[in-house]
Amino acid sequence: MAERVIPLIDQRSRLLAVPRGAQLLPKSGQLVDTLGRPLRDLRISVTDRCNFRCSYCMPKEVFDKDYQYLPHASLLTFEEITRLARLFVSQGVHKLRLTGGEPLLRKGIESLIEQLAALRTPDGEPLDITLTTNGALLTRKARALKAAGLKRVTVSLDGLDDAVFRRMNDVDFPVAEVLAGIEAAHAAGLGPLKVNMVVKRGTNEQQILPMARHFRGTGITLRFIEYMDVGATNGWRMDEVMPSAEVIDLLQSEFPLVPLEPASPGETAERWGYAGADGRYDPALGEIGAISSVTRAFCGSCNRARLSTEGSVYLCLFASQGYDLRTLLRGGASDDEIQSAITAIWQGRTDRYSELRASLPSQPGQASARRVEMSYIGG
C-alpha cells in the first residue's frame, strides 16, 4: 500500500489582489467567465472550525489541538457577508449556500440568515438559501433556522452503522443524534431535504444499500459523492474512490432505477428515480443523486463561486489562490468598486480542474500541496 504523505502547510495566506477597472455590467447583461459559464451560485464559508474530524476533510493529525484557526477579527462579520452577498446577487447569483467548517458552530448564524433572506434578485425574487451541515446541532437549531428564513438544509451522513459513523467522524459522535437532527429539520419544514454520503472505498461502501433502504420513500433525497482530492491533507488516493457508476450498479441490484432529467442548469448530481412495479419512476419512492466529481467532470456547467471565511473569492474547489475582497471591504471601497472587482474576477475565470485532473501532477509537493482546504473555502 502506498504511503500517505500529509503536507503541513498553511495555505491561507496566498491571496491575489483583486483586478481593478472592469466595466460594470448593464442591468440586463449576464456575467460569464472565459468559458461562457454564468455566475449563479455562491457558497459562503462562515467558519473554518468543525466539531467533527472526518478523515477525508479535517484529519485529526493535522487539525489537532495546536492547529491555528482563524482569529475572530479575520472572519467576515455578518454585515460584511450580507453586503458581499448582495453585490454577488446583483451580478447574477440566485443561490446561496452556507457552509464551512461546520456552519452551525458560528454563533448567531440565525441572524446572518435573516439578513440574507431579506435580499432580492434584480428581478425582485427571493434567493434560494440553503445550508450544508453535519447535523450534530440540528435538533437544537432546526426551528430557529427555519424561523430565520432558511429554506432547506443538506445533511452530510456517511453511514447508518454506529461504529462506521463514529469512526468516520473520528470524534465518536453517535449516528442516532444526526438521524434525530434530520427528523427535526424535516419537522421544521426545512425541505426538500438532501442527505450527502461521501463514499470511500474500503471504509463505508457497505453502507450504500442500508442508506438507500433507510431513505427510500421518505421524501429525502440521498446523494452519493465520490471521495475527492480536495485540499492537501486527506492523503487522497484514486483506489479509495468508488466511481458513481459502481454505486448505481450496486443500487440497481436491489432497486430498479430510471434516469431523470437534471433539475436545474449546472446541477452537480446525476438524478435517478426509484422505479415502481410498472418499471417507471415512482415519485412516492423518490430519487437518489450521484455526484461524480472525480470520474465525470461537470466543469462545463460549473457556475459556483466560493467566499472563504475571511472574505476571499475562490473560483474552483481545487483552487490554490483566492481574490482578497476583505481588503477592499475594509478599505472603504464603494459598492461599484466591489461589483466591478467581482465582474473582473469572474470574467477572468478559466478554472476546470476536474476536466484536467488526469493530466495534472497529483503528488503532494506539486499542485495538490498548494490547494486550500475545503473546510476553509466551504464545500
Q: How far is the CB of 65 from ligand SF4 (least distance, A)?
A: 16
* Position among 225, 247, 315, 328 found at the interface with ligand SAM (CB under 6 A): 225
Q: Is 102 in the site for ligand SAM (CB under 6 A)?
A: yes
Taking the least distance from each CB to ligand SAM, the nearer of 86 and 106 is 106
Q: How far is CA 146 from CA 110, 143, 342, in A?
A: 9, 5, 30
DSSP 201: T
Taking the least distance from each CB to ligand SAM, the nearer of 32 and 164 is 164
* Position among 78, 165, 227, 274 found at the interface with ligand SAM (CB under 6 A): 227
Strands, E assignment, 110-260: 128-133, 152-156, 194-199, 221-226, 257-260
Q: Is 294 in the site for ligand SAM (CB under 6 A)?
A: no
Alpha-carbon torsion (155, 233, 51, 200), positive or negative = positive
316 binds, among ligand SAM, ligand SF4, none (CB under 5 to 8 A by kind): ligand SF4
Among 81-89, 146-154, 177-185, 310-318, which window interacts with ligand SF4 (CB under 6 A)?
310-318
Site string for ligand SAM, 232-271 (x = CB under 6 A): --x-------------------------------------
Buried b (16+ CB within 10 A) or exposed e, 19-32: eeebeebeeeeebe
272 binds, among ligand SAM, ligand SF4, none (CB under 5 to 8 A by kind): none
Beta-carbon contacts of 219 under 8 Å, excluding residues fewer than 6 positions away, are 186, 191, 192, 193, 286
Cell 429554506 sits at which residue?
151
Q: Is 374 in the site for ligand SAM (CB under 6 A)?
A: yes
Among 249-257, 276-284, 297-305, 328-336, which window interacts with ligand SF4 (CB under 6 A)?
297-305
Q: Is 33 in the site for ligand SAM (CB under 6 A)?
A: no
Q: Is 134 in the site for ligand SAM (CB under 6 A)?
A: yes
Tell me how many residues contact ligand SF4 (CB under 6 A).
22
Site string for ligand SAM, 66-85 (x = CB under 6 A): --------------------
Beta-carbon contacts of 138 under 8 Å, excluding residues fewer than 6 positions away, are 104, 153, 155, 178, 180, 181, 182, 184, 185
* Position among 156, 221, 308, 309 found at the interface with ligand SAM (CB under 6 A): 156
Here the contacts of 59-67 (C-beta below 8 Å, separation 24 or greater) are 59/6, 59/170, 59/233, 59/234, 59/235, 60/170, 61/6, 62/6, 62/8, 62/233, 63/233, 63/375
Alpha-carbon torsion (21, 18, 92, 320), positive or negative = positive
**Residue 217: how many CB atoms within 10 A of its CB?**
12
* Position among 90, 134, 292, 339 found at the interface with ligand SF4 (CB under 6 A): 134
Q: Is 33 in the site for ligand SF4 (CB under 6 A)?
A: no
> Does residue 192 have a cis peptide bond before it, meaning omega lies within 30 degrees of 0?
yes
Among 84-92, 104-112, 252-260, 313-321, which window interacts with ligand SF4 (CB under 6 A)?
313-321
Whether 96 and 44 have beta carbons less than 8 Å apart is answered as: yes
Q: Is 309 in the site for ligand SAM (CB under 6 A)?
A: no
Q: How far is CA 194 from CA 94, 110, 213, 286, in A?
A: 19, 20, 15, 11
Binding interface with ligand SF4 (CB under 6 A): 50, 52-54, 57-58, 100-102, 134, 156, 298-299, 302, 316-318, 351-354, 375
Binding interface with ligand SAM (CB under 6 A): 50, 56-57, 99-100, 102, 132-134, 156, 196, 198, 225, 227-228, 230, 234, 374-375, 379
